[in-house]
Chain A
């Protein structure tokens, strides 16, 4: 039997208390948003402090969100963007990661250098913009898909996963006459599945959440991803020239909250299931942040 130590008890008490407080601080604002999204603007205006519950549950804001053509269109575009991006992302990332993991190649160093250099230096905002324009990609989802097709950081994560595979496995495959493609498909891919899942999540989250590129590459309002639509709802950089607002809208405030909930829910449902893989390759992943 362990000896009860009063000092340790206090210690535990403080730690658990602090962590619970921390979890609360994280979750309460989110909860507030969710509750607010089910309220009316009057409830929100008259409420002070956190909203833990609302008297009148009201789905009006959600009805407005789901009938908002721009928002629905935004979701559609984001899905298209994701659908186009992810396969390409994984394809390039695996190729790049595999190459970086290869050894015993004469040109490995210069080529790897060429690849790694792009992590630290890039043309910047204007040259990238002009490049996309010169390629004729403006005003199409391809501008977003291609400009974010490969993250070298993620390729490095992939490389570490591949390196972790015992050399003997690969060797025996080569001896059996398999070429590099076979090795990738038959041996490497099945073994790094968890890493691929995490990479998919990383790519997916970054595409789902990105808005800046679309704001300069895409002018056609019908092609804007959901974050850009959200931005115009949530962060009104009010172009003051048009002061013609609609009739007074009793959901003007709540629709913001409903839009937040609807746009954030999908990722919230996915990430907990991948959580156990997060610390795979996280060493490099954190370098990125």
Chain B
């Protein structure tokens, strides 16, 4: 009986939805080839991969790659740097768009608001290569940012070549590039705040600053906490693109993150197994963090991502 109902259920589902299943076929094929097939390649993390032998025929080495990974001085360093950069960006880059949205929300002159928005969105559309090209040029010994540093009593030198300037450059340029764009989501959330609250506050004689602190900011809390939790979930996900373009051997000490180390291990040292082991470790930690933060998000009464 049960068997039959299952079969008929399937059949019914198929007759009703066959086109929908048909529609998703290209997507599935695409993902199988370009997302799932590479996952099979992860087994080279357990091999000594020789390109000539291919994935299958390269010799197994068991956990050796992972063992040398945890022994490796440079891996530990890149792990530390990754955490540092992530935490710095949570502390500094994360609040910036909230602040911008709060300020923009107070602007009642439409054209002014729109102009500021257009301008601050702009850097988001500049490519990473160009951004980094600008950074390199501005932080040269005679660059304009160096001029500013010198004005405040710094030494005239190439800033990117000094470990102490790497994080400030990385973080500030990140804020510069993304603050406008990232504020969009908060502005969207702000439009959902009940206007009556403001009216009530005005009646109570609350000034604009007070309104901002007691009404607008609380209105943003759900969005902020959701994004924060998501951000925490990506704490090991510092991308390689910007760092690859900005770092140099003298700043590896602070700038080398997991992904760039993995890149160099693979393409400079041709140690593919080791590099893949790094990547796999990174992915697994990421997914653990993500699941944890998603759970946290749900606990806090937010919707979570999945």
The reply to whether the CB of A282 lies closer than 8 angstroms to some CB of chain B is yes
Alpha-carbon distance A25/B273, docked complex (angstroms): 45
The reply to whether the CB of A68 lies closer than 8 angstroms to some CB of chain B is no
Listed residue (A45, A48, A127, A283) with the most chain B CB atoms within 10 angstroms of its CB:
A127
B134 and A260 contact, CB distance less than 8 A: yes
The reply to whether the CB of A278 lies closer than 8 angstroms to some CB of chain B is yes
Residues 273-290 of B contacting A (Cβ, < 8 Å): 275-276, 279-280, 282-283, 286-287, 290
Residues 80-128 of B contacting A (Cβ, < 8 Å): 100, 103-104, 106-107, 112, 114-123, 125-128
Alpha-carbon distance A158/B207, docked complex (angstroms): 41
The reply to whether the CB of A75 lies closer than 8 angstroms to some CB of chain B is no
Q: Which residues of A contact B31 (CB under 8 A)?
A: 114-115, 118, 150
B42 and A123 contact, CB distance less than 8 A: yes
A180 and B129 contact, CB distance less than 8 A: no
Cβ contacts A to B, 18 pairs, < 8 Å: A20-B116, A26-B122, A26-B180, A33-B134, A92-B30, A102-B20, A124-B42, A124-B283, A131-B34, A131-B38, A180-B19, A227-B127, A234-B133, A235-B132, A268-B125, A271-B121, A286-B182, A286-B184
Contact with B along A77-109 (1 / 0, CB 8 A): 000000000000001100110110010111100
The reply to whether the CB of A164 lies closer than 8 angstroms to some CB of chain B is no
Residues 163-188 of A contacting B (Cβ, < 8 Å): 179-181
Q: How large is the interface on B (under 10, 10 to 19, 20 to 34, 35 or more residues)?
A: 35 or more
CB distance from A10 to the nearest CB of B (A): 9
Q: Choose the segment among B68-76, B161-169, B193-201, B260-268 that binds chain A (4+ C-beta atoms closer than 8 Å).
A: B260-268
B41 and A95 contact, CB distance less than 8 A: no
A11 — nearest CB in chain B belongs to which residue?
Answer: B208
CB distance from A110 to the nearest CB of B (A): 11
B20 and A149 contact, CB distance less than 8 A: no
Q: How large is the interface on A (under 10, 10 to 19, 20 to 34, 35 or more residues)?
A: 35 or more
A275 and B121 contact, CB distance less than 8 A: yes
B125 and A271 contact, CB distance less than 8 A: yes
CB distance from A163 to the nearest CB of B (A): 14
Q: Taking beta carbons and an 8 Å cutoff, which residues of B are in contact with A?
A: 9-10, 13, 17, 19-21, 23-24, 26-28, 30-31, 33-42, 44, 55, 100, 103-104, 106-107, 112, 114-123, 125-130, 132-134, 136-138, 142, 144, 147, 176, 178, 180-182, 184-185, 187-188, 207-209, 227, 230, 240-241, 244-245, 259, 262-263, 266-267, 272, 275-276, 279-280, 282-283, 286-287, 290, 305-306
Contact with B along A2-19 (1 / 0, CB 8 A): 000101100110011011
CB distance from A27 to the nearest CB of B (A): 6
Alpha-carbon distance A96/B37, docked complex (angstroms): 19
Listed residue (A92, A124, A150, A233) with the most chain B CB atoms within 10 angstroms of its CB:
A124
A234 and B132 contact, CB distance less than 8 A: yes
A209 and B129 contact, CB distance less than 8 A: yes
The reply to whether the CB of A189 lies closer than 8 angstroms to some CB of chain B is no
Alpha-carbon distance A11/B279, docked complex (angstroms): 50
The reply to whether the CB of A140 lies closer than 8 angstroms to some CB of chain B is no
B184 and A126 contact, CB distance less than 8 A: no
Alpha-carbon distance A264/B125, docked complex (angstroms): 8
Alpha-carbon distance A131/B118, docked complex (angstroms): 40
CB distance from A46 to the nearest CB of B (A): 10
CB distance from A266 to the nearest CB of B (A): 10
Q: Which residues of B contact A92 (CB under 8 A)?
A: 26-27, 30
B130 and A49 contact, CB distance less than 8 A: no
B interface SS class: helix
CB distance from A147 to the nearest CB of B (A): 6
Q: Which residues of B contact A267 (CB under 8 A)?
A: 125-126
The reply to whether the CB of A211 lies closer than 8 angstroms to some CB of chain B is yes
B185 and A130 contact, CB distance less than 8 A: no
Q: Which residues of A contact B24 (CB under 8 A)?
A: 95-96, 99, 111
Alpha-carbon distance A146/B279, docked complex (angstroms): 22
CB distance from B14 to the nearest CB of A (A): 8
Across the A-B interface, give the 10 residue pairs with the lowest CB-CB distance, nearest first.
Answer: A234-B133, A127-B41, A123-B38, A124-B279, A209-B127, A106-B13, A127-B38, A286-B185, A118-B35, A180-B19
Listed residue (A11, A92, A135, A233) with the most chain B CB atoms within 10 angstroms of its CB:
A11
Listed residue (A131, A149, A283) with the most chain B CB atoms within 10 angstroms of its CB:
A131
Q: Which residues of B contact A257 (CB under 8 A)?
A: 137
B267 and A235 contact, CB distance less than 8 A: no
Listed residue (A26, A126, A131) with the most chain B CB atoms within 10 angstroms of its CB:
A126
Alpha-carbon distance A111/B28, docked complex (angstroms): 8
Alpha-carbon distance A234/B287, docked complex (angstroms): 35
Q: Which residues of B contact A179 (CB under 8 A)?
A: 19
Alpha-carbon distance A285/B9, docked complex (angstroms): 37
Alpha-carbon distance A18/B104, docked complex (angstroms): 10
The one of B37, B208, B244, B279 that contacts A126, using a Cβ cutoff of 8 Å:
B279
Alpha-carbon distance A229/B227, docked complex (angstroms): 36
Q: Which residues of A contact B33 (CB under 8 A)?
A: 131, 135
Alpha-carbon distance A92/B205, docked complex (angstroms): 54
B117 and A275 contact, CB distance less than 8 A: yes
- Not counting A131-B38, A211-B127, a sample of 12 additional A-B residue pairs whose C-beta atoms are within 8 angstroms of each other reads A7-B208, A95-B27, A121-B283, A125-B262, A131-B34, A234-B136, A235-B129, A235-B132, A263-B127, A268-B125, A271-B121, A289-B182
